[in-house]
């Protein structure tokens, strides 16, 4: 059971999914239909891991130490992982040079198809801790952003059930930042400014009810004013569907 649960937790966290499991959940994890059983399915998990950690075929991903990474393929031991790697190499899906692994064109295509096609681009959404605003983002706006190739992460000042606490590390890993200035805290300005300093594009937005309360008025901050979540979804569709 250990290697399966370990592999499940590793895969979920690697996909930026939170894991909150108790002892009673372990049996369900082990018996889940999502747990790979065949060597072929286990190999796909390794291809998907390399796909998530690279920008294209031929880019090296270091797995070190390999002896502690057999849970990447839900394998019970290192011997099975090595066997899977050798099989993927013989099928011309990956190239191995020591601890560095590269997806071939064929391997990249198979991993992309297994992962659902186009790789999602990380995007951070900065909002205040206001519960109503957070609910609007969760129900309508985050799914709209994901439709256009982004993997949105909702960031607030405090950890909540459906958001993460904002950090500079998360911002640095983003390719786009959306900063909602509706009832903003000073941290929203600071973090968005940090993103601009890293040359990360920032889309400024603000609910119309707060349009006259903008505490910072400079040329570079021209927020898109929105009234309803439906209206903002349409605006974001125009901005992101490029």
H-type alpha helices, the chain: 2-14, 26-30, 39-52, 78-90, 105-114, 131-136, 142-147, 168-172, 186-197, 229-240
Taking the CB of residue 79, how many other CB atoms lie within 10 A of it? 10
Mean pLDDT for each consecutive 10-residue tract of the chain (242 residues)?
90 79 78 89 95 89 94 96 97 96 92 74 84 79 79 77 76 91 82 93 88 68 87 86 60
Let me know: does 101 contact 111? Beta carbons within 8 Å. no
How many residues can be counted in the chain? 242
Q: What is the pTM of this model?
A: 0.54
Q: In what order do the strands lie in the sheet with 224-226?
A: 164-165, 150-156, 121-126, 176-180, 202-207, 224-226
Q: Which residue has the tokens 């057999």?
A: 70
For residue 235, give both structure tokens. 């605006």
For residue 98, give both structure tokens. 């020591």
Residues 6+ apart with CB under 8 A from 141: 125, 229, 232, 233, 236
If you ran DSSP here, which 8-state letter would residue 92 be given?
Answer: T
Exposure on the CB side of residue 174, measured as CA atoms within 13 A: 32
Q: Determine phi and psi for 99, rounding to 5 degrees.
A: -95, 5
d(CA 127, CA 207): 11
Question: Quick one: pLDDT at residue 119?
Answer: 66
Question: Quick one: pLDDT at residue 161?
Answer: 55
Question: Quick one: pLDDT at residue 42?
Answer: 96
101, β-bridge pairs? 61, 96
Question: Quick one: pLDDT at residue 201?
Answer: 94
Q: How big is the CA angle at 161 (ends 166 and 127), to the nearest 5 degrees?
A: 40
Question: Quick one: pLDDT at residue 102?
Answer: 96
């Amino acid at each position: 059971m250990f290697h399966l649960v370990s592999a499940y937790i590793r895969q979920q966290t690697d996909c930026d999914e939170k894991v909150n499991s108790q002892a009673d959940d372990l049996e369900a994890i082990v018996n889940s239909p999502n747990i790979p059983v065949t060597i072929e399915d286990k190999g796909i998990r390794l291809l998907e891991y390399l796909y998530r950690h690279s920008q294209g075929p031929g880019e090296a991903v270091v797995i070190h130490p390999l002896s502690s990474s057999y849970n990447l393929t839900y394998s019970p031991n290192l011997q099975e992982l090595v066997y899977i790697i050798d099989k993927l190499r013989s099928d011309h899906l990956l190239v191995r040079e020591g601890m560095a692994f590269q997806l071939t064109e064929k391997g990249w295509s198979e991993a992309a198809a297994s992962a659902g096609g186009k790789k999602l681009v990380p995007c951070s959404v900065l909002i205040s801790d206001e519960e109503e605003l957070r609910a609007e983002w969760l129900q309508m706006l985050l799914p709209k952003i994901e439709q256009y190739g982004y993997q949105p992460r909702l960031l607030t000042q405090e950890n909540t059930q459906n958001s993460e606490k904002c950090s500079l590390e998360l911002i640095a890993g983003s390719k786009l930042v959306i900063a909602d200035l509706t009832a903003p805290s000073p941290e929203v300005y600071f973090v968005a400014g940090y993103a601009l300093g890293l040359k990360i594009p920032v889309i400024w937005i603000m609910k119309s009810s707060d349009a006259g309360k903008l505490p910072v008025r400079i040329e570079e901050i021209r927020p898109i004013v929105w009234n309803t979540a439906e209206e903002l979804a349409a605006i974001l569709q125009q901005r992101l569907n490029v």
